[in-house]
Amino acid sequence: MKKKILIVDDEPNIVMSLEYTFKKQDFEVYIARDGSEALDILKSQTPDVVLLDIMMPNVDGYQTLQHIKDNQSLNNTKVVFLTAKNKASDIEKGLNLGADKYLTKPFSVKKIVSEVLELLT
């Protein structure tokens, strides 16, 4: 069975690059342009991993993460923050809120794939 990934980011070039890469890795890929769209998708899908930006319109990444952590049906979903917020305090906050990994932009697509695959083993 294919692994499912939800990519939540408001930057089209990042979304396109990650979507292409994860489809090549045989993932079922879902796309949300902000946290609000992500919450809608999470009502009907249970992804194995969520790649989540923090700074987005409407519902930000922190609020989205909180929803995932509060939803028992998403207990096994891994969350990776993928964000430009790169201060030590930002990283600490993201991990303390329950993110499984915290990666910063700019990023290497190869590293993202490696980190996701590691989380799923």
Cα end-to-end span (Å), the chain: 15
pLDDT 10s per residue in the chain (121 long)? 899 999 999 999 999 999 999 999 999 999 999 999 999 999 999 999 999 999 998 899 999 999 999 999 999 999 999 999 999 999 999 999 999 999 999 889 999 999 999 999 8
Fold adopted by 4-119 = Rossmann fold (3.40.50)
CA-nearest of 48, 55, 53, 63 to 116 is: 48
pLDDT of the residue at 16: 95
**Domain range annotation of the chain:** 4-119
Q: The pTM is what?
A: 0.95
